[in-house]
Amino acid sequence: MSSSDFRHIAIRTEAGKAERLFRAAVSAFCSLTRPSRREIAQLEDLTLPLFDEVSVESRRYVAAALSECEYAPAALVRRLAEEPVEIAAPLLTRSNALSDIDLIALIGRHGLPHARAIARRRELNATIADLIRALEKPTLVKTRPPETVTKLAPVKSAAIDAAEDKRPAAGEAEENARRRLRSMMRPAGENAAINTFLGQPAYVKLRETALTGNAAFFQTALADALDIDFATARSVTEPSSYGALLAALKALDLSEDRAFLIAVAVYPGEFPHPQAIRLFLDRYRLLHREAALDKVRAWKAETLSRAIRGNAAETTSGEHQASNSDGKAASLKAS
């Protein structure tokens, strides 16, 4: 089927239009050797509005078809990946359209069923694999074997005892998972994000402090990265929306995936569904870096203005105290 056939599917009218159109559009798309960006966008525009109208069987069919497609549309794949694992499994197991951040988000939202499907990926990030293993066995409870078995079984070696002692105790799995999550998206080699103002890597410190869940730690790191005071950094992250933080991350010239990882750590409630993630990425792409730098310069100017006002107040206070001291000294001499 040619690309022109794919484009003409959208205007056909027949019985069961939504169901047949959904399947036929994806089938036609998968037959394209190298679809253009326009054709990818056309498929998303056509299928996403139909998504809630089609049957589970059609969703399962489309998920299986797109799992083998090299240039699968990311938005449609992410929407299908949110479905129950019975539908999403082929994509979770094989699709290249799901990034490491997508996989982490899916595990966080859907838990073990999705995690087990993701674990079957051929080239899975080792950190995600470790995270899934930690979720699989959050606690390992030791049980005493029956007395008769104990008498017949050989004595365990000290090495096995030591290994068992190192198994995660109750409550440790969550911290282990958090630690593994912090290690995601580490820059390869020296290719860390460069702080525009200080000329030093900034991304790692921002990511680590954001993932602690402690707002003050992250605000301090942001103040250092942008060369602003703590009060300004706090005003950037305290509002209920991430608009100001978006400008800060753009000014630091972070890539989309790194900016999103920090934003979702600071504002987890802002990303309850894939559409919210897509909105963030669209806003981040459309924000011109020079406009973001202008906003940061305005913050720096306000920081400087506050410092000047503070120094002026201190100087006035000092002069007033000195004047009072001279007056007292003069009165003492006169007496």
Per-residue pLDDT reduced to its tens digit, 278-312: 899 989 999 998 889 988 888 888 777 766 666 55
pLDDT at 65 over 90: yes
Residues 90-110, mean pLDDT to the nearest whole number: 88
Give dist(CA 206, CA 218) in Å, integer: 6
User: Which pLDDT band holds residue 325 (cuts at 50, 70, 90)?
Assistant: low
pLDDT at 157 over 80: no
With beta carbons less than 8 A apart as the criterion, state whether 78 and 102 touch: yes
pLDDT at 227: 84
Instruction: Compute CA distances 74 → 229, 255, 284, whole Å.
Output: 39, 18, 17
Residue 105: per-residue pLDDT: 81
Q: What angle do CA 290, 294, 299 make, to 5 degrees?
A: 145
* Stated pTM of the model: 0.44
CA distance 158 to 155: 9
Q: For the chain, which residues make up each domain, given as ranges?
A: 3-96, 187-328
pLDDT at 328 (0 to 100): 55
Task: Say if residue 246's pLDDT is above 90.
Answer: yes
Considering only residues 112 and 87, tell me which one the structure prediction assigns the higher pLDDT: 87
Place of tokens 């002026």: 312
pLDDT, averaged across the chain: 76
**According to the model, what pLDDT value does residue 195 have?**
44
pLDDT band at 16 (very low <50, low <70, confident <90, very high): low
Q: What percent of the chain has pLDDT above 70?
A: 67
Q: Scanning the structure block, which residue is given the tokens 């921002």?
A: 206
For helices 274-286 and 256-266, the axis angle rounded to 10 degrees is 120
On the question of pLDDT at 56 being above 90, the answer is: yes
- Can you tell me whether residue 155 is helix, strand or coil? coil
What local confidence, expressed as pLDDT, does residue 169 receive? 52
3-state SS assignment for residue 194 = strand
The dihedral sign for the CA sequence 135, 139, 142, 143: negative
Nearest to 242 by CA among 205, 207, 275, 279: 279
Judged by average pLDDT, the poorest of 102-111, 227-236, 285-294 is: 102-111
